[in-house]
Chains A and B, each alone.
Chain A
C-alpha cells in the first residue's frame, strides 16, 4: 500500500481537482480511494494497468461524491462563467490563478466529456486506456474527446471576447 501511495497519490489528488471536486473535499476523496484500494488490491487481476484501475476507482468515487452533493442540494460546482470572471481577480498566486483558469474551462464541460478530456489531455492516458477506464466503446471516447476539445476552444474564444482571457 505504501508503494501505491508513493507512486499514485499525487495524480489521484490531481485527477479529483480536475474532475471538479471542491478543494475542501479532495483529501477526503483521495482517502476513500485508498480505503477501496486497501480492500480490493488483492483482487486486482492485472487485466488493466494498476494506474488505469485506480483511475476507474477515482471516477466512481467522484461520481458518488457528485451524487451525494446533488442529493444534499449543494452546488458541487460554481457557475463556470463566474469562474472565468473571477480568475485572476481573486487569486494573487500565479499558480492558483492558472489552476482556477483551467478549472473554469473544464467546468464548461459535462461530466462525460470532462472525464475524457482530463484523462487524455492532462493524465496522458491513451484513448484505448480512456475507453477502458470509463467503460465505453473507443469510438465513443473519441467522439467525447472531439466534442470536449471543441467546447474548450469555444469557451476560450468566448472568454477572450469578453476580455476575460483565462
Chain B
C-alpha cells in the first residue's frame, strides 16, 4: 500500500496554505528557556543509576528520586533567558516551598497510563503499552530536613542541589549576570560531573553575552557545540542569538 504524499511535501496536491501550515508545524520546537526549564526539573532522573541494575530502583530510591523531582518541579517555572525575567527584581533568589507550589500534576500524577476508572491497568498490548506514571509523594509543606544549627546559632543552609544552584544562576541572569556567571563557576566546582552541565553552559554563555563579553561567549558556545554535538540546545546556540 503506497503512502500518500504528506501535505508538506512540495509535490503534494495540498493547497499552499495547508502545505505552509504543516511545514511550520514540523518546525515548532520548544525554545531554549523551555528546554532548560524542563531539564532542570528533570535533573534527578538524569542521574546515572547507582547500582549495576540500571533503572530498577528500590522503593526507597524511587521515592527519593520522585520526591526530588517534585521539589525540582516546584522550583522551576518559566525559565527565561530573555532580557526580562519573570521574577520581580527585588524578590529573593532562594526558592522556598512556600513561594511556589508545585504544579498540580506533580502533586498528583495520574494513575497508571491506560488505567481504567478503577485504577487497574489492563494488560499491556505491547512494550509501549507497559507504561505507568509513578505515584508521587506530595511535597511536605515544611523543608524535608531541618537546617543544621551552626555554633553561632545561625541556621546552616541545607545542601543545595545542582538544579537549585543553577536555578539561582538563571534567576540572577537578568539583574546580575556577573553573579549568574559566578554561580555557574561555583556549580562547576561543586558538581564537576554534574548531569546539568549543558544547562550550566547555556546560562554561562548567556551571562557572558549580557556582560558584553561576546568573544568569550562565542568561544564557549563553540566549545559547547564540540562537547555536546547532539544537544537539544545546539540549534539555538548556533544561531548566535544575542
Counting CB contacts under 8 A, is A9 at the interface? yes
Q: Are B129 and A145 in contact (CB under 8 A)?
A: no
Q: Are A6 and B228 in contact (CB under 8 A)?
A: yes
Counting CB contacts under 8 A, is A98 at the interface? yes
**Residues 1-35 of chain B: 1 if any A CB is under 8 Å from the residue's CB, otherwise 0?**
10110111000001101101110111011100011
Min CB gap B16→A, angstroms: 11
Q: Are A121 and B7 in contact (CB under 8 A)?
A: yes
Counting CB contacts under 8 A, is B55 at the interface? yes
Partner of A122, one of B4, B22, B113, B128: B22
**Residues 17-60 of chain A: 1 if any B CB is under 8 Å from the residue's CB, otherwise 0?**
11000000101111110111011111111011000110111001
Q: Are A61 and B113 in contact (CB under 8 A)?
A: yes
* Residue of B73, B110, B115, B198 most packed against chain A (CB within 10 A): B110
Q: Are A7 and B230 in contact (CB under 8 A)?
A: yes
Counting CB contacts under 8 A, is B120 at the interface? no
Report the interface size for chain B: residues with CB under 8 A from the other chain.
63
Report the interface size for chain A: residues with CB under 8 A from the other chain.
70
Min CB gap A121→B, angstroms: 5
Closest residue of B by beta carbon distance from A130: B3
Q: Are B105 and A32 in contact (CB under 8 A)?
A: yes
* Residue of A44, A57, A132 most packed against chain B (CB within 10 A): A57
Given contacts A6-B232, A32-B105, is CB(A42)–CB(B56) below 8 Å?
yes
Which residues from chain B contact A108 at a C-beta distance below 8 Å?
Answer: none
